[in-house]
Copies of this chain bind each other. A is one copy, B any other.
Amino acid sequence: MFRHAVQTRISLRPTFTPHVSTCRWYSSVPAAQRLRVNGDRLWDDIHYTAQYSAPSPGGVTRLCADENDKLVRDWFRDQVTKLGAEYKVNNTGSQFAKFGGEDDSIPPIAMGSHLDTVATGGRFDGPLGVISGLEVIRSFKEQDIQTRAPLVLINWTNEEGARFFPPLGSSTVYAGQSSIDQAHASLSNDGSGVTMGSELAKIGYVGDGPNTFEEFPISAHFEVHVEQATDLEGADKSVGWVEGWHGITYYEVMFTGEDGHANTYPMYGRRDALIGAAKLITQLETLAYSHNGYTTVTNIQSGPWGACNIQSKTKVVFCLMHKEAEGLEDMGAETVRSIKGIAAQHGLEHYLARPVHLLPGDFWAEAVDCVRRACGDKGIGSRTGTAHDSTMTRLKCPTAMVFVRAKDGISHCAKEWSDKGDCEEGALVLGKAVLNFDAYLKERAGKT
C-alpha cells in the first residue's frame, strides 16, 4: 500500500582533488595588476536591466523563459555581438559569447552566471555575474588586453529553478548530470504542466548548441556572485574567494490519501494528505535545528480544490542544507524516517524523490588561487551555502567564484543590495582572476 521510491537525479560526490597544485605567484600577474574596470558602466547596466521584470516593488521578478527573460536575453545578445562575439544559443537556451585569444586552439576561459531571477528577488543575484563578465570583456577591449586563451561569457538558463524544477537547468546538462530532454521536461512549479522546453521555444531561445563540455570544452569557469551571507560584511571586506560549498539536498514528496467530505467525515480514520504535509513541515524545522543544519520548504500544492474536500493529494518540495556531508546524510535519513512515520500514522501513500543531492566540496585550488591573488587584501576566503552553475562546471574543469559583499547577507528578496564600489571590485577581481588563469595556462603549457 505504501510506495516508497527514492529517485536521485543529480547525485554529486565532493569534487576530486585538482590534478595541478597552486600557482607559483603570490599576487596577480602584471597584466592583471594594470587592469581597471568601469564601475559606472557596470552599475548602470545592473540597474538598466532591472527594468526587465514583472511588477516587483524594489526588486526583480524575471523568471526563466518569461517575457522579461526574453528581453534581457535580447539585450545581452546585442551587447556581446556589438563587442564582436561569436554568439550561440544552445538547446537549453544558454547564451555563449566567445571572443578570440592569441591561441584559439586552447579551450576558452569562461565567465558565467545567470540573468534569470527568483520571484520577488533582487537585482544582483545572477545578473551581477553576467554583467561583471561583460564589463571585463569591454575593459579588456578598451585597454588592449589580449589573452592567450580565448574567452567565453555565458548566460546559463534556469539557474534558480524559480519557475522550472529542478534548478541549474542548463549547467547540469553541460556537466553531464542531466540531458536536454530532461531539462526540457522540467515542470513549472505552479503545477500548470508547462515545461521549460515549451516556454523557451515560445520566446525563441531553443538553439542548437553547444550543449555539453565535451562538445565545447572550457579551460576554466569563473563566476561573480553576491555572497548571500555575512562573512565579508563581518570582516569589512568588499570581495571574497569562494573555497567551496555547503551540502544541499532537495526532496519532492507526494502524499496521497483519500477524498472525503470536509464537514461531515469523522476526524479519526481520515487519510488527509495535507495534515501529513503539515506535520512533515513542522518536524523538518525541529530536525534542522537539532542537526545544526537548515531546511526550507519551497513549494506546496494540494488538492482537490474546494471548500468542502479533505485534501487527498499534497506535494511538498523542500531542501536540507548542512556544512558537513555526514550531517546532510543524517538529516536525510531522519527525514525519510519522518515521512514514513507520518504516512503510517495517517494512512497515506507516499512517493519520494531526491532530484538534487549535492554533498559539500571544494572548488579547484588553482582556480581559487587565481581569485585569491586577484582579491589581495580586499578579500577573504568564504564558502557558499547554495548551488550555482559553478558547482556544475567544477565537475569538468577548474572552477572558482568571486563573492561580492551583500548588505546583511540578504538575497532572493527586494532588499538584496551590494554597494557600487563592491560590485566594481568584484568585476575587477573577475578580470584579474581570468588574467591570472591565462598566465597559469601559459606557464603550465611551457612546462609540458
Contact = CB atoms under 8 A, between A and B. Distances in A.
A248 interface: yes
Interface string A250-271: 1000000011111111110000
B160 A264 contact: no
A53 to B, nearest CB: 13
A280 B277 CA distance: 12
B261 A386 contact: yes
A282 B311 CA distance: 14
Interface string A295-312: 111111011111111111
Contacts of A167: 307-308
Interface string A398-421: 000000000001111111000000
A263 B321 CA distance: 7
B264 A411 contact: yes
A294 interface: yes
A209 B19 CA distance: 82
A411 B259 CA distance: 8
Interface in A211-258: 228-229, 246, 248, 250, 258
A63 B308 CA distance: 12
Nearest to A119: B304
A309 B120 contact: yes
A46 interface: no
A288 B267 contact: yes
Interface string A364-406: 0000000000000000000011110000000000000000000
A153 B147 CA distance: 85
A309 B125 CA distance: 13
Given A160-B306, A307-B299, A317-B307, A267 B281 contact: no
Size band of the interface chain A makes with B: 35 or more
Contact of A258 (B274, B385, B413): B413
A414 B304 CA distance: 12
A134 to B, nearest CB: 24
B296 A272 contact: yes
A174 to B, nearest CB: 19
B304 A264 contact: no
Contacts of A295: 267
A444 interface: no
Given A261-B228, A414-B259, A311 B297 contact: yes
Contacts of A277: 278
A279 interface: yes
A162 B413 contact: no
Interface in A344-362: none
A118 B166 contact: no
The 7 closest A-B pairs by CB, nearest first: A161-B307, A119-B304, A278-B281, A263-B386, A162-B306, A259-B413, A262-B296
